[in-house]
Structure 1
Amino acid sequence: MTEARVVRVHGFGGPDAMSIETVTLPPPGPGEVLMRQTAIGFNFIDVYQRKGVYPLPLPTGLGHEAAGVVEAIGDGVTDFAVGDHVAYMNAGLGAYADRRVVAADRLVALPPDLSDEMAAALLFKGMTAQYLLKRTYAVQPGDTILVHAASGGVGSILSRWAKALGATVIGTASSAAKCEAARAAGCDVAIDYSQPNWAEQVIEATGGRKARVVYDSVGRDTFLKSLDCAAPFGLVVIFGAASGPAPAIEPELLNKKGCLFLTRPSVFPHNADAATFRANAADLFNAITASMVKVEIGARFPLSDIAEAHRAAEARKTMGATIIIP
């Protein structure tokens, strides 16, 4: 038996709703792997789930992604061996832990040149950017796209990768400093969406053509104006709600705004089986090798300070990726 420190939520609420508990893990069963986790990825969905915006059965763990080292394998596991460096982003809640038993088909082997910290910082966010750029809409050279929160974890990856694919990238962020970070991440133009006329600035930046695709992870504060920024027959993609859920609209509004398409996708269905997950991860790893994707680790928090990590994220005090060190 192996002891592990894990984060648990017994009641939805603020950052202090999380507590660290010690549990005993069973040996890995058939098709399972015991991981010693060395780096855990933080994603804003963790905040939503802790607060109950996305309700979960209680008590619950938190966290979707981590990287680490295989310590033991169960019967039937042939893809991995003790000592391998691996990562996951779709193994169910519970990544906030220093050790974990994980189904082997949810793991991907890390390339030798990709550190555990970078994998934890990149996998969930990079896989999100991968499906947005390759599946939700296949971005082509010459496309103009709008990326909200372009200085954030997903936004900065999305912007840099789209630029490498040949797109013109208009980014938004919530402050002048974050706009500068968005430009550093590859945006051709960066606009402060806290300004009341930000949508007009986006339209002006595109020469009036507007964006072929709008990627909106902010939600409530940006959604309606995002519709104004999409070109006729354009696509508006809602994939997050950093400011709160996007308001409901009548379908007729999409017609009035230019026969627009609207979608609300998720990373998990795009990586539902092992073969698809590993193929998408290979695409991401190739993009990393080609320098099309990279990320700055903006903050590191020890697992014991998990509440502080959540407070910093909710106060929008972080840029780039945040990782948790067990």
Structure 2
Amino acid sequence: MRAVQVRRTGGPEVLEVGEVEEPVPGPGQVLVEVDAAGVNYIDTYLRSGTYPMPTPFGVGLEGAGRVVGLGEGVEPDGDLREGALVAWKQAPGSCAERVVVDAAEAVPVPDGVDAETAAALMLQGLTAHYLATSTYPVAEGDTVVVHAGAGGVGLLLTQMVVRRGGRVLATTSTPEKADLARGAGAAEVLGYEGFAARARELTGGEGVAAVYDGVGRATFAEGLDALRPRGVMVLFGGASGPVEPFDPQVLNAKGSLYVTRPSLGAYTRTREELLRRTGDVLAWAAADELSVRVGGRYALEETARAHEDLEGRRTTGKLLVLPGGAAEAELGRS
């Protein structure tokens, strides 16, 4: 079968597409024919060596597809039976024609949700869900900042905050991205420069309840200035690089602030929690209560270009690799 591999770390050019031995599901695993695999920043961190990993390794963690084989201990008449459409957030080597997925990670996809939508929602949809409902549970009337409001997480997070009765001040870098953020429900769209001062103006000088920051180094320090007393800085990513060390006394001086660095793994520690969160997100998508934007579709051989587009901030929404089908020629670059 064909798969994308990293044999040495580096830029997108190190991604290789070639024939590899087809995986065999072990106990408690399923073999899946991949319809769509998600492209995420963590893939670029692994590829570049920012997150060290022994080489060679398969690219991609997230996806959706049909079960074609069952390992020992997986019930053939259960939700993960052969032919069932499933999705997952954590299966190394997902940018391939087939991948082995731990049964504990494989989530049944309900009727009304296709493979592309399911793949697009696993990492980013679950991230938006735990951010808005658990890390800082948005309350009716809260105003929050959502950075990168036209990105994959940003668009979903904005919708979930609004669903809970919150008000979103989104940051974007272009007028086109601003339009997308507004379409997702953002009340105001700000540029990155001076966003904290503008957020204070829009809250009558009080500051916002929370800042959801997946950008990191470029926005973190100013984000603290946007918070109200006892506000929460939710640092969930570092697209611009890691945050520089700072003195915790700063949090006292700025109003007894909180800072947290959450991860999806910590918010899906059990099968029950994973199913609860995916149940919400996929049900909203099935009911057309959650809009999912796919910003680009790529053939397996175009995975390097997908990484280039993501790192170059030329995209909006979710990027997908389609191992078994032709990719769309058009890429959303707004």
**TM-score, normalized by the shorter chain, greater than 0.5:** yes
Q: Structure 2: how far apart are the matches of 1:231 and 1:90? A: 36
Q: How many residue pairs align between the two structures? A: 320
Are 2:83 and 1:103 equivalent residues in the alignment?
no
Q: Which residue of 1 aligns with 2:85?
A: 85
The unaligned stretches of length 5 or more in structure 1 are: none
- Give identity over the alignment, percent: 40
Inter-partner Cα distance in structure 2 for 1:179 and 1:72: 44
- SS, match of residue 36 in structure 1: strand
Are the aligned partners of 2:111 and 2:286 in contact in 1 as well (CA < 8 Å)? Answer: no
Per the TM alignment, residue 56 of structure 1 is displaced from its structure 2 partner at its CA by: 1.8
Counterpart in the other structure of 1:155: 154
TM superposition shift of 1:293: 2.2
Counterpart of 1:323 in structure 2 is 320
Equivalent in the alignment of 1:145: 144
SS of 1:24's equivalent in the other structure is coil
Instruction: Return the alpha-carbon distance in structure 1 between the equivalents of residues 20 and 201 of structure 2.
Output: 56
Q: Normalising by structure 1, report the TM-score.
A: 0.94
In the TM superposition, residue 26 of structure 1 has moved relative to its aligned partner by 4.3
Shift of residue 15, structure 1, vs aligned partner: 0.3
- C-alpha displacement of 1:171: 0.5
Residue of 196, 204, 208 corresponding to 1:207? 204
TM-score of the superposed pair, with normalisation by structure 2 = 0.92
Return the letter of the residue paired with 2:292.
V
Partner in structure 2 of residue 301 of structure 1? 298
One-letter amino acid matched to 1:88 = W
Question: Are the structure 2 counterparts of residues 155 and 87 from structure 1 closer, same or farther at C-alpha, using a change threshold of 3 Å?
Answer: same
Q: What's 2:241 paired with?
A: 244
Residue 274 of structure 1 is matched in structure 2 by 271
Q: Which residue of 2 aligns with 1:114?
A: 113
CA distance in 1, matches of 2:208, 2:35: 40
Residue number among 41, 48, 60 corresponding to 2:57 in the alignment: 60
Gaps of 5+ in 2: 324-334
Aligned mates of 2:2, 2:163 — CA distance in 1 = 40
Distance 2:287 2:111 in 1: 15
Task: Output the CA distance in 2 between the equivalents of 1:246 and 1:13.
Answer: 22
Q: Distance in 2 between matches of 1:163 and 1:69?
A: 33
Asked if 1:262 is matched to 2:262, the reply is: no
CA deviations over 1:29-77 (Å, ceiling 9, x no partner): 3222110000011111211221122222222222121100011112221
CA–CA distance in 1 between the matches of 2:162 and 2:236? 20
In the alignment, which residue of structure 1 is the partner of 2:11? Answer: 14
- Report the 3-state secondary structure (helix = DSSP H, G, I; strand = E; otherwise coil) of the residue aligned with 2:21: strand
Equivalent-residue separation in structure 2 for 1:296 and 1:130 (angstroms): 16
Counterpart-to-counterpart distance in 1, 2:291 and 2:86: 19
Moved more, 199-208 or 154-163: 199-208
Residues 146 and 170 of structure 1 are in contact (CA less than 8 Å); yes or no, is this contact kept in structure 2? yes
Contact 2:23 2:31 in 1 (8 A): no
- Which residue of the partner structure matches residue 330 of structure 2? none
Work out whether residues 25 and 101 of structure 1, in 8 Å CA contact, stay in contact via their aligned partners in 2: no
Matched to 2:63, the amino acid is: A
- 1:290 Cα deviation after fit: 4.7
Aligned to 2:127: 128
- Structure 1 stretches of at least 4 aligned residues deviating more than 3 Å after TM superposition: 289-292
SS of aligned partner of 1:106: coil
